[in-house]
């Protein structure tokens, strides 16, 4: 058996020879838009439709267009049709749609609304495409061979307006990406004219902010907009529009941010309702129909719709950001440019197109003038021309004889020879030669225009004004000042209500509202488990869990799911993301971090720490060194500010010691070991700690001592109120 031939190769050579060509192909020929605002896939598709006569023609099947486009774009029909869908007015992805459609093309704001198959839909080019292709037949742009050399295609389209900023465009290449927002066409044309007059012009007054196809309200921040205009990078916040239907007690959302979908919004709202963070909502549904987008949120009685929307803006994609990255190809090189720089590059490209169109006209008119000047010479002696033609025996000698007879060029002689016999009269020739003077004037004007930047700019300005007037529309995205909007904090957006927390010995936790608790039955717990703690709190309260090993975990009560008395509750390690081995041994609840915590340990020591020691400026979830871990913690107690209590420590040898909380000194260090309260006797340890009121001891003074530590007194049955019953000889 022959061994396989293994050839070693440097990884740098592999990257250079194999990966780099692929990366360049993706960047230049696929993902990044060029200065005409189109990617190659868009351009190939639109040019195919243009050659099919679909600017002025009738609608045709999308499948037909997809098939024809494959002559330029050798990709699968699905990819081509998906490109077509995004360009249509039916899909709504573009602020200035380029394809007029008939049929179901889905909607850009819906993730699940699928577009129909290509065989069921029809399309044609929108009228605005006349501005994309206007002078393409005048050699305004370069043409190259298609992939198999069977036909030519344009490298760019000579668009008469800056389409690069008129429509949104997104692409992910290798090592770079592009995300271009869109601007209102009227404002964009005015801004382009301003930049043409002054490349450093401040566009914030002319074109204050982007405009999106899905509308919404843009939170205007001048500093952020200026940064985007200057660098081409930045973020824009857009929020949904809504109206409150008082009669139905519901909120109707009818415009959403361009960067999200209806399904994403609804899914998040449903999650908030399930987790108890949006109790004001009774139902949410998608009511989008042929009239347009509509998300309906039914409210519970007494709900403030504006306050609820402020919360939903904060917690859902009803307010979303559009990250701008104006990465475009300029002469084959990717560049991240600001708005002014993009418009300057487009103007440079457009001036080139205009010059080439003018040069084309000059060439054509010059050729026509040359022919007419030859025809004017015939006017001097028509009979001579007729005689030359009649007396020439060989047909191939007609043109040379005319050239010789009138001293004209071959082109002029060919033109004269092709004139019909009926037109060889003085009237026809005079009418044609009368154009000579007009042509000379036109050529003179064209040559002056080609050589004058000011004239070219005037021509571009005129075209921009015509485009704005003909295809411009009002803004879809409303602009509101970000300074006028108060961003609610999480606590402000959470409904606050009274509740009770129930903790079991085995680590289960229930959160039940006080309203639900009134009608609840007995609390259900797992077999062999028992309730060890009940705490009344608010939904905004801070809950601190203490775990073995001296670690504390903090979370808000509103992050704990609502439960019922008939359920077991949530396993606390699962809520906190802990391992099963880390057992919870205590819990404290607070609204203001006032009060004190008392920790009792197996070795008989007790420590008192202010609750404020667990308050942090940052929203930290985990605190190490929350209490001393040198001896296992038996129990912990929360002491409200200004209150005192009495605690009883029981040892496993049957003894008990009572200590008042003011006898335990306050320490500022969380991990303090505290002071010794109960001494060990023959290796005994503290097994249980309870409040005096819950200890069952009726003569508490017997277990109090003047000094600590103390061994404690033996607990007798009489101390617990249990009387001994004696039986006499008579059975009494």
pLDDT at 8: 78
pLDDT at 384: 87
Each residue of 511-553: pLDDT tens digit? Answer: 988 888 888 778 888 888 889 889 999 888 999 999 888 889 9
Answer for the pair 161, 192: CB distance below 8 angstroms, yes or no. Answer: yes
Each residue of 636-658: pLDDT tens digit? Answer: 999 988 889 999 999 999 999 99
CA dihedral over 208, 212, 214, 218, signed as positive or negative = negative
Strands 584-590 and 570-571, bridge-based pairing: unpaired
Q: Which residues of the chain have pLDDT under 50?
A: 725-727
Spatial CB neighbours of 176, under 8 Å, sequence gap ≥ 6: 27, 32, 327, 334
pLDDT at 126: 96
CA distances from 432 to 369, 370, 409, 426, 444 (A): 10, 12, 18, 10, 19
The full set of domains in the chain, from first to last, is 32-159 (3.90.199.10), 241-317 (3.30.1360.40), 353-471 (1.10.268.10), 494-720 (2.120.10.90)
- Site of tokens 């036109």: 442
> The whole model's pTM is what?
0.74
Active site residues: 120
What distance in Å separates the CA atoms of residue 627 and residue 119, rounded to the nearest whole number? 71
Helix and strand numbers (H, E) in the chain are 21, 33
pLDDT at 490: 58
Strands 478-481 and 217-220, bridge-based pairing: parallel
Tell me the HSE value of 68 on the side-chain side, using a 13 A CA sphere: 18
pLDDT at 351: 96
What distance in Å separates the CA atoms of residue 84 and residue 89, rounded to the nearest whole number? 10
pLDDT at 388: 87
Strands 122-125 and 60-61, bridge-based pairing: antiparallel
pLDDT at 513: 87
pLDDT at 494: 66
């Amino acid at each position: 058996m022959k061994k396989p031939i293994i050839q070693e190769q440097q990884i740098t050579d592999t990257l250079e020879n194999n990966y780099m060509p692929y990366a360049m192909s993706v960047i230049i020929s696929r993902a990044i838009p060029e200065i005409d605002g189109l990617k190659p896939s868009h351009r190939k598709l639109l040019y195919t439709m243009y050659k099919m006569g679909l600017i002025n023609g009738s609608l045709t099947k999308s499948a037909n267009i997809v098939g024809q486009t494959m002559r330029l774009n050798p990709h699968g029909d699905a990819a081509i049709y998906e490109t077509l869908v995004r360009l249509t007015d039916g899909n709504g992805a573009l602020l200035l749609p380029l394809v007029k459609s008939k049929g179901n093309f889905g909607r850009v704001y819906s993730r699940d609304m699928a577009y129909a198959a290509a065989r069921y839909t029809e399309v044609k080019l929108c009228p605005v495409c006349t501005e994309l292709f206007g002078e393409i037949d005048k050699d305004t742009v370069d043409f190259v061979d298609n992939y198999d050399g069977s036909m030519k295609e344009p490298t760019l389209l000579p668009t008469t307006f800056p389409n690069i900023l008129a429509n949104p465009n997104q692409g992910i290449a290798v090592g770079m990406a592009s995300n271009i927002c869109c601007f209102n066409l009227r404002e964009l044309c005015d801004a382009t004219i301003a930049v043409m007059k002054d490349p450093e012009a401040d566009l914030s007054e002319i074109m204050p902010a982007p405009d999106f196809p899905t509308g919404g309200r843009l939170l205007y921040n001048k500093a952020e907009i200026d940064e985007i205009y200057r660098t081409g990078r930045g973020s824009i916040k857009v929020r949904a529009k809504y109206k409150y239907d008082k009669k139905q007690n519901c909120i109707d959302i009818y415009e959403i941010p361009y960067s999200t979908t209806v399904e994403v919004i609804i899914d998040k709202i449903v999650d908030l309702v399930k987790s108890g963070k949006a109790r004001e909502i009774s139902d949410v549904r998608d009511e989008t129909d042929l009239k347009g987008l509509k998300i309906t949120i039914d409210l519970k009685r007494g709900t403030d719709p504006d306050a609820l929307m402020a919360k939903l803006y904060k917690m859902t994609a009803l307010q979303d950001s559009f990250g701008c990255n104006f990465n475009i190809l300029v002469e084959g090189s990717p560049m991240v440019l600001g708005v002014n720089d993009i418009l300057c590059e487009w103007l440079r490209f457009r001036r080139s197109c205009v010059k080439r169109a003018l040069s084309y006209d000059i060439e054509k008119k010059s050729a026509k003038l040359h022919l007419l000047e030859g025809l004017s010479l015939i006017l001097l002696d028509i009979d001579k021309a007729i005689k030359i033609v009649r007396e020439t025996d060989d047909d191939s000698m007609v043109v040379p004889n005319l050239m010789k007879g009138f001293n004209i060029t071959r082109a002029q002689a060919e033109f004269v020879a092709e004139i019909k016999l009926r037109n060889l009269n003085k009237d026809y020739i005079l009418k044609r030669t009368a154009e000579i003077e007009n042509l000379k004037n036109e050529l003179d004007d064209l040559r002056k225009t080609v050589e004058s930047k000011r004239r070219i700019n005037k021509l571009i300005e005129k075209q921009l004004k015509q485009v704005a007037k003909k295809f411009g529309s009002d803004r879809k995205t409303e602009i509101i000042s970000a300074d006028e909007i108060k961003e609610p904090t999480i606590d402000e957006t959470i409904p606050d209500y009274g509740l009770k927390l129930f903790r079991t010995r085995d680590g289960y936790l229930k959160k039940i509202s006080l309203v639900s608790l009134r009608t609840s039955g007995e609390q259900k717990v797992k077999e062999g488990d028992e309730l060890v703690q009940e705490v009344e709190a608010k939904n905004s309260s801070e809950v601190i869990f203490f775990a073995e090993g001296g670690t504390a975990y903090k979370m808000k009560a509103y992050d704990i799911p609502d439960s019922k008395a008939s359920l077991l509750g949530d396993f606390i390690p699962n809520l906190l993301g802990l391992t099963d081995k880390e057992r919870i041994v205590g819990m404290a609840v607070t609204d203001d971090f006032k009060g004190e915590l008392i920790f009792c340990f197996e070795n008989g020591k007790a420590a008192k720490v202010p609750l404020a020691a667990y308050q942090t400026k940052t929203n930290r979830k985990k605190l190490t060194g929350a209490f001393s871990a040198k001896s296992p913690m038996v129990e912990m107690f929360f002491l409200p500010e200004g209150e005192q209590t009495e605690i009883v420590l029981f040892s496993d040898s049957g003894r008990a010691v009572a200590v008042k909380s003011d006898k335990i000194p306050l320490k500022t260090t969380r991990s303090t070991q505290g002071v010794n309260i109960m001494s060990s006797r023959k290796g005994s340890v503290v097994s249980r700690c309870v409040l005096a009121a819950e200890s069952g001891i009726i003569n508490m003074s017997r277990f109090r001592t003047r000094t600590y530590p103390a061994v404690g007194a033996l607990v007798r049955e009489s101390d617990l109120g249990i009387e001994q019953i004696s039986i006499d000889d008579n059975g009494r």
